[in-house]
Amino acid sequence: MIRFFDNPVHLGLAIVIGLLMAASFIVFLLQKLNQNGDYKELSDRVKSWWVMVGVFSIALLSSPVISVIFFGLISFLAFKEYISVIPLRKADRRVLFWAYLTIPIQYVLVASNQYGLFIVFIPVWVFFLLPFRLILAKQTDGFLQSVSAISWGLMITVFAVSHAAMLMQFPVTKDHVAGGAGLILFLAILNQGNDVAQYVWGKLLGKNKIVPDVSPNKTWEGFLGGVGTTMVMSVLLYSFLTPFSFIFALFIGAMLALTGFIGDVTFSAMKRDLKIKDAGALIPGHGGILDRIDSLSLSAPLFFHIVRFFYY
């Protein structure tokens, strides 16, 4: 058992599982102490977290290829949800095959560690080729809206998320024995932990709304509480999951809290524009895949490039 926890990634996952066990126990107590209370949504959320953490753990502890496939599947499901909620013309359906084809290509580039092509494939090549394929559909009415919507969807669900998978390519070193898997786990814990912390602090202390027309539940108290909590989590985890210094860990914690918040409200604005509450119903208590990766879509690219610039 001691040798099992010699692996920093194993230790990190054990901490996550311990927190989930505590959350499950709290829900159980609430249901027993107040049987008239409605805790179904809370219970569904915790149960879904068990499933998500289980699948994530298997992917992270398997080979790097399995981890890349896992993130590729997330991108596929997220893009599929996105396409199902945005308004598209009939002519646009002919282009979607090529849009979906970018997903395996992008993740093959990740798996083969082709950074140069990985970083330009969607923002450059797909950015130019996709509009041309739409032109061949011979329908100019709504062209700008369609090309913008599809391109933005690929950026947030494929290009952005693939940066999390690309972290797997960072090697193990004597100063960073957790390697890329440790960085992915660190990012996932802080990203999702920030979401939970902002929600909890907002419920407990929230009074002053930040963007009431976009996300009425977002408050300054929740945001600042989330920033502080995420910085604390970063300081507690950095020493065995990352090569960071103490000061850098504080900076990263604050940065991930801020970018997570911006990603969250950006998706909220999109859903309000589309007049929907959730992007899907795949995950009980959470909505869809898009609803779970909203903050990751902005955090992952920034985290990857900052880590790459300063440490690799």
The predicted model gives 200-213 an average pLDDT of 88
Burial degree of 87 (CB within 10 A; 0-12, 13-18, 19+): exposed
Express as a percent the part of the chain with pLDDT over 90: 57
Q: What is the pLDDT of residues 44-71, one digit of tens each?
A: 778 888 888 999 999 998 889 999 999 9
* 103-109 contact pairs (CB < 8 A, 24+): 103/72, 103/75, 103/76, 103/79, 103/158, 104/72, 106/72, 106/75, 106/158, 106/159, 106/162, 107/68, 107/69, 107/71, 107/72, 107/75, 107/162, 107/165
Which range among 59-63, 156-160, 167-171, 182-186 shows the weakest confidence by mean pLDDT? 59-63
pTM: 0.92
Better-scored residue on pLDDT, 287 or 69: 69
Residues 6+ away with beta carbon under 8 Å from 75: 103, 106, 107, 157, 158, 161, 162
Give the separation between CA 154 and CA 133, rounded to whole angstroms.
15
Task: Name the residue with tokens 């910085």.
Answer: 231
Q: How confident is the model at residue 123 (pLDDT cuts 50, 70, 90)?
A: very high
Give the separation between CA 216 and CA 211, rounded to whole angstroms.
7
For residue 120, pLDDT beyond 90: yes
Give the separation between CA 63 and CA 54, rounded to whole angstroms.
16
* The pLDDT value given to residue 2: 47
Burial degree of 43 (CB within 10 A; 0-12, 13-18, 19+): middle
Which range in 32-46, 146-160, 207-221 is most confidently predicted, on average pLDDT?
A: 146-160
Contact predicate 227/207, CB 8 Å: no
Task: Name the residue with tokens 């709504």.
Answer: 142
* The pLDDT value given to residue 204: 84
Give the separation between CA 201 and CA 222, rounded to whole angstroms.
5
H helices of 167-244, in order, are 179-205, 220-241
Neighbours of 94 (CB within 10 A): 14
Tokens representing 160 are 């952005």
* The pLDDT value given to residue 287: 77
Give the separation between CA 254 and CA 260, rounded to whole angstroms.
10
The predicted model gives 84-111 an average pLDDT of 92
Mean confidence (pLDDT) of the chain: 89
Longest dimension (CA), the chain: 65
Tokens representing 170 are 């960072």
Contact predicate 154/131, CB 8 Å: no
